[in-house]
Amino acid sequence: MVTVPLRQGINELVEAIEERIEVTGRAPTWRVTAGSFESAMSYARAAYHDPVVVDRSDQRRLWPRVTLTVTTDPALARNAPPLAELVRPRIPLQPRGAHRARRAPAAPRTPVESSLEEFFAHPPVYPGRWAISTVAPVLLVVLASLAVGLAVLGFLLVD
């Protein structure tokens, strides 16, 4: 039996999830999602023999993810932007000067809705590698695994 410290196991699990590669689509166009642009691009090059990147989209729910739309179709490749534009994530244009969007009047809220919105508007933990949104899913999996392990152990000890 090999024992692994719990912290090391959790760190390895988080890193494996962050670097997971997902592929959707079918020939000649695929969407490759990975933890970084470089890892998605290297996978796409190895799997699809040097395809052309048509689009990039970035997500950041629990950890950063980059999705590249790649193709081997020459017609789609002709309209693709230069790769240098897609290496860095797009930054949306910001309004300049006094051009501010006007908000519609807010509907009346109950005190509970108001206090909850105020609480979540200023989270107590700053986003980062060890933020609660990053650690909570991993901790949930670890605790569920421990609960299953204890249930099996209890079942074995009852006999």
Please, are residues 31 and 76 in contact by the beta-carbon 8 Å criterion?
A: no
Question: Is 128 a member of any domain?
Answer: no
Domain extent, residue 46, equals 19-88
Question: Is 95 a member of any domain?
Answer: no
Question: Is 68 a member of any domain?
Answer: yes
Backbone φ and ψ for 8, nearest 5 degrees, come out as -65, -40
pLDDT in tens, 132-143: 667 778 888 889
pLDDT band at 124 (very low <50, low <70, confident <90, very high): low
Question: Is 57 a member of any domain?
Answer: yes
Element (H, E) at 7: helix 6-18
pLDDT-wise least confident of 64-78, 82-96, 109-123: 109-123
Sign of CA dihedral 104, 110, 116, 119: positive
Question: Is 3 a member of any domain?
Answer: no
Question: Is 79 a member of any domain?
Answer: yes
pTM of structure:
0.51
Question: Is 62 a member of any domain?
Answer: yes
The C-alpha atoms of residue 13 and residue 17 are separated, in whole angstroms, by: 6
The C-alpha atoms of residue 145 and residue 141 are separated, in whole angstroms, by: 6
Beta-carbon contacts of residue 95 (< 8 Å; ≥ 6 apart):
101
pLDDT in tens, 14-56: 777 777 888 999 889 999 999 888 999 999 999 998 899 999 9
The C-alpha atoms of residue 57 and residue 64 are separated, in whole angstroms, by: 11
Number of domains in the chain: 1
The C-alpha atoms of residue 135 and residue 129 are separated, in whole angstroms, by: 8
Question: Is 5 a member of any domain?
Answer: no
CB atoms closer than 10 angstroms to residue 53: 23
The residue that leads in pLDDT, 151 or 132, is 151
- Alpha helices by DSSP H, 71-110: 74-78, 83-87
The C-alpha atoms of residue 16 and residue 111 are separated, in whole angstroms, by: 42
